[in-house]
Amino acid sequence: MGQDLILKAQVRGTDPNLKTKGWDDVTVHTLTLNRERCLSRELVESFFRFLRHNSDDVIRQKLNNTKEKNERAAKTRCKEFVTQDLFPSWDLRLRAIDFCDREASSLKRELDEKYAPDGSHGPVLAARMDPYAAADSVATREAYLRQWSELRRWVDNQRGIEQILQRTGTGVLARACDPDTSYIDEFEKFRKSIR
């Protein structure tokens, strides 16, 4: 098992000018990710829904959320949204997916080591002493392999979802902001700049 990964999402309200009685418009939500959370993904999926709801699902609303309709104000709003909301959300989700992918690979290596046929007579001797030991060993191995397989499937599925969301988001950004900007390339530059 590896280290924990702590993800912090700063989410701004829909209207950056909105203040409520002493509260700032930015809230921080934290997810501590570890192998158990990758294998039991309810919290991770909830965190993803939260991030997607506050970025990908509201791109048009946030880009149209300016009183000034001139081109300069629109470009400024686009840049703020992309760098402060959208790209950080994409990055957090990809970091979580990558973390769970690494945990899946690590789990598979551990399972292969633990259940590899090494030529010893351990299971045979255990079966002589306890006739159910061999069946229990096989059942345990299959349960762990099932967890690994489900995690691999989830990682692949989440990568596909992220690709779709990024492609859709960049299409909206190209129409609303700057059709000459490659937002996927900009996102890669953003990721490199925060590492």
Look at residue 189 and tell me whether its pLDDT is greater than 60: yes
pLDDT of the residue at 22: 45
Look at residue 123 and tell me whether its pLDDT is greater than 80: no
118/71 Cα distance (integer angstroms):
69
pLDDT of the residue at 18: 42
Per-residue confidence at 23, pLDDT binned at 50, 70, 90?
very low
Residue among 88, 80, 87 nearest 62 (CA): 80
Find the domain containing 150 and state its range. 5-193
Residue among 41, 35, 52, 47 nearest 154 (CA): 41
Task: Give the mean pLDDT of 146-156.
Answer: 96
Number of domains into which the chain is organized: 1
Look at residue 195 and tell me whether its pLDDT is greater than 90: no
The DSSP 8-state label assigned to residue 25 in this structure reads: S
pLDDT of the residue at 19: 45
Task: Give the mean pLDDT of 82-107.
Answer: 96
pLDDT of the residue at 2: 63
Cβ(139)–Cβ(63) below 8 Å:
no
Per-residue confidence at 16, pLDDT binned at 50, 70, 90?
very low
What size, in residues, is the chain? 195
**Comparison of pLDDT for 74 and 98, the residue scoring more:** 98
Contacts of 62 (CB under 8 A, 6+ apart): 14, 77, 81, 85
